Amino acid sequence: AQKITQTQPGMFVQEKEAVTLDCTYDTSDPSYGLFWYKQPSSGEMIFLIYQGSYDQQNATEGRYSLNFQKARKSANLVISASQLGDSAMYFCAMRERSNYKLTFGKGTLLTVNP
Amino acid sequence: SAVISQKPSRDICQRGTSLTIQCQVDSQVTMMFWYRQQPGQSLTLIATANQGSEATYESGFVIDKFPISRPNLTFSTLTVSNMSPEDSSIYLCSGDRGTNNEQFFGPGTRLTVL
């Protein structure tokens, strides 16, 4: 069964607007962490933001914020004020405490239009 | 966060040959991982590199095809053996300090097998 589901293969957004990238997850482990990575065409994986399952507040890092809805098992990434350089693949990933490995979703290709 | 470097950054190889990829971390990490990303796909974990002992391989990956070494806490190698065109992928090294919110990646090695 898929542990991480990203239902949007591709998304388009106008420069300076906000965009939400969806991620849902499945786990029975009460302790886990959720990660978002950006992968530009160069191929490197750039860490963006982390949310722990016990964190009381949604994580934020600059223009990135994570809309964490634990009961719904969703961890959507919100990018505010999109920039052309935000065009890339975005991967959601989860690591369970019982299993110290990252499991990745299939990714969402974000294109920012001028 | 730590910095990870990989060598080579890219290579074009002939079928039947082998390539060794090196991964160097600038500070000690608890765990090191090797991932494969086939064209247009998400990341798949190949194995966890264990210091001074045999790597722990994921289902579908075997030591004869992907031998891994980790002689110390900051260095690991992955060999792709007896290559075929199906091995054409980006290979990424990843490091983890053992805290909840840090797993970072090297820049990747883009391998093309002819």
In the predicted model, what is the mean pLDDT of residues A47-68? 94
Q: Which pLDDT score is estimated for B100?
A: 58
Distance between CA atoms of A5 and A94, rounded to whole angstroms?
Answer: 11
Out of A44, A100, A105, name the one closest to residue B42 (CB). Answer: A105
Q: Show residues of chain B in contact with A101, CB under 8 Å.
A: 33, 45, 48
Q: What does the pLDDT look like over B43-64, one tens digit per residue?
A: 999 999 988 889 999 999 999 9
Helix (H, G, I), strand (E, B) or coil at B12: strand
Q: How confident is the model at residue A100 (pLDDT cuts 50, 70, 90)?
A: confident
In angstroms, what separates the C-alpha of B17 from chain A's closest C-alpha? 24
Residues in chain A: 114
Q: How confident is the model at residue B1 (pLDDT cuts 50, 70, 90)?
A: low
Q: Which pLDDT score is estimated for B29?
A: 81
Do B108 and A47 count as a contact with CB atoms less than 8 A apart? Answer: no
Type of residue at B20: T
Q: Is the pLDDT of residue B98 over 70?
A: no
CA-based nearest residue in chain B for residue A45: B105
The Cβ of residue A85 has, within 10 Å, a number of other Cβ atoms equal to: 9
Q: What does the pLDDT look like over A14-45, one tens digit per residue?
A: 999 999 999 999 999 999 999 999 999 988 99
pLDDT top residue among B102 and A80? A80
Task: Reduce the secondary structure of B81-97 to three states and give it as a string.
Answer: CCCCHHHCEEEEEEEEC
CB B41 within 8 A of CB B22: no
Most A CBs within 10 A among B103, B104, B110, hence the mutation to make, goes to: B103
Strands A4-5, A24-25: pairing kind: antiparallel
User: In chain A, where do the E strands start and end?
Assistant: 4-5, 10-14, 19-21, 24-25, 32-39, 46-52, 60-61, 64-69, 74-79, 88-96, 99-104, 108-113
Q: What does the pLDDT look like over B78-94, one tens digit per residue?
A: 999 999 999 999 999 99
Type of residue at A74: S
Cα separations in angstroms, B34 against A12, A58, A73, B48, B66: 32, 30, 28, 7, 10
Q: Which pLDDT score is estimated for B101?
A: 61
